[in-house]
Amino acid sequence: MTHFRFVRLPVTLAVLAACATAHADYTSPDGQFRLSGFGTLGASRSSTNDALFNYPGQGGGADKKASLNPDSKIALQGTYKFTPSLSATAQLMMKYDAEGEYVPNPEWVFAKWQPASGLSLRAGRMGAPFFMVSDFRDVGYANTTVRPNLDVYGQVPVSYFDGADAAYQMDVGSVTVTSTVWAGNAKSDFASALRRNGAAVPPTEVRIDNAVGLNVLAELSSGYALRVGHMQGKLTTKSALAQQLINGVSPALAGPAAAIAQSVIDAVTTDDTRATFSGIGLTVDRDNVVAAAEFTKRKVKKGYIADTTGWYVLGGYRIGAFLPYVSFSKLKVDDPNAAMPAGADGFGAEVVGGVQGILNTQKISQRTTSVGVRWDVMRNVALKAQYDRVSKPANSNGLFLVADPATASGQSFLNNKKDVNVFTVSMDFVF
């Protein structure tokens, strides 16, 4: 695979700014083909060098030196209508990934059939519908804030699934209700550390197999929308560090320490485990008032992936082309689901350190206060500035990426309460 990496700021600016100045999307003369796109050029800077601010899972991020990587992205989307009821859509997106690179990736590739009024069927690769704004979570221009709230949206590391869905829309009085059933498999790479003891750490593979979900959205003409959703599937994680630990203690399975060896393996393994994710969200866009709230829960039956709860509330008020806003949010670990096995020290400090390193990736509790303003400078371009104060308790990394958790600075960040300030400016555009 050919990897494209943006290594110089002028290159990034040239690519993204060229798209920002485009006037509109393209529709063919016969109306059958439409090409559009969107993107974000964002720069973030935090108040610490001990950890990196990013979208959870990215292989890098921002510290005291400003970085374009967390938020910058660009995408092209095309839709072709074969008949009035049958179409195909593809979306190619380039954003910072778990390998620390910008690689074009097909986020959407699906066919859609509308056999009857209000009913639509899709099959292929589609946005994973875990959240209120799942379909446009990457479209910065469609969101009030710089990015979807990470205390909620950072709980699920996959952004698309391969499968099918069926949606039915009907009017009940003044309310439009859309019910969607979906099923499929999802996969993503997730960077939980860049190095350990100086050696590079490859990303962890996260899979959700046999996922089945139901979402119900109720929209009122007065500007209110309420969504509830639930999914369940089989969660599997594969990491090089976990496999190294498993290989190291597996010979003991045939000896007197078999029970301890098995407990070590169980502590670092999440394999085909039942996982659920549930959420309820409310949005308001009425006159000049903009508001939103979501409450979500992640549960995993066994393994080291933690059970979590996330929520946020957001409020804003339009003043001409400006929209100032404020939000409050929290991410809490309800149950770590795994602990250091008794007797693991008998396998040596390296095994104990490796197990603890994996368990520490699930210490993600934090809370965030955000203040920002959006300026719709022209029809298809919005400028935003946002300040986040992220507070994490002791014995938590929050959602920050600690480059090498085994170092003294990495341990200090984990073990101590920290307040980290993050400032971001961004330009969102559609074309």
Residue 161 CA to residue 183 CA, distance in Å, equals 9
| Phi, psi of 347, deg, nearest 5 | -90, 0
**Where do we find the tokens 């979500």?**
296
Closest residue by Cα to residue 101 from 29, 1, 249: 1
The one-letter code for the residue type at 390 is: V
Domain residue limits, the chain: 9-430
pLDDT at 11: 52
Per DSSP, what are the bridge partners of residue 187?
207
pLDDT at 24: 56
pLDDT at 13: 47
* Beta strands 175-190 and 195-196, pairing class: unpaired
Residue 391 CA to residue 365 CA, distance in Å, equals 9
The one-letter code for the residue type at 159 is: S
How is residue 110 written in tokens? 């699906």
Residue 334 CA to residue 299 CA, distance in Å, equals 9
In sequence order, which residues have a C-beta less than 8 Å from that of residue 286 and are 6 or more positions away?
Answer: 222, 223, 224
In sequence order, which residues have a C-beta less than 8 Å from that of residue 2 and are 6 or more positions away?
Answer: none
3-state helix, strand, coil in the chain (%, to 5): 15, 50, 30
Residue 123 CA to residue 114 CA, distance in Å, equals 12
CATH code for the structural domain at 9-430: 2.40.160.10
pLDDT (tens place) for every residue of the chain, 431 residues total? 334 444 444 455 455 555 555 555 799 999 999 999 999 999 999 999 999 999 999 999 999 999 999 999 999 999 999 999 999 999 999 999 999 999 999 999 999 999 999 999 999 999 999 999 988 899 999 999 999 999 999 999 999 999 999 999 999 999 999 999 999 999 999 999 999 888 999 999 999 999 999 999 999 989 999 999 999 999 999 999 999 999 999 999 999 999 999 999 999 999 999 999 999 999 999 999 999 999 999 999 999 999 999 999 999 999 999 999 999 999 999 999 999 999 999 999 999 999 999 999 999 999 999 999 999 999 999 999 999 999 999 999 999 999 999 999 999 999 999 999 999 999 999 99
Per DSSP, what are the bridge partners of residue 134?
none
pLDDT at 25: 79
CA atoms within 13 A on the CB side of 113: 6
CA atoms within 13 A on the CB side of 60: 17
pLDDT at 197: 86
pTM over 0.85: yes
- Show the CA angle centred on residue 154, arms to residues 148 and 160, nearest 5°: 85
pLDDT at 135: 87
Q: Are the C-beta atoms of residues 261 and 254 closer than 8 Å to each other?
A: no
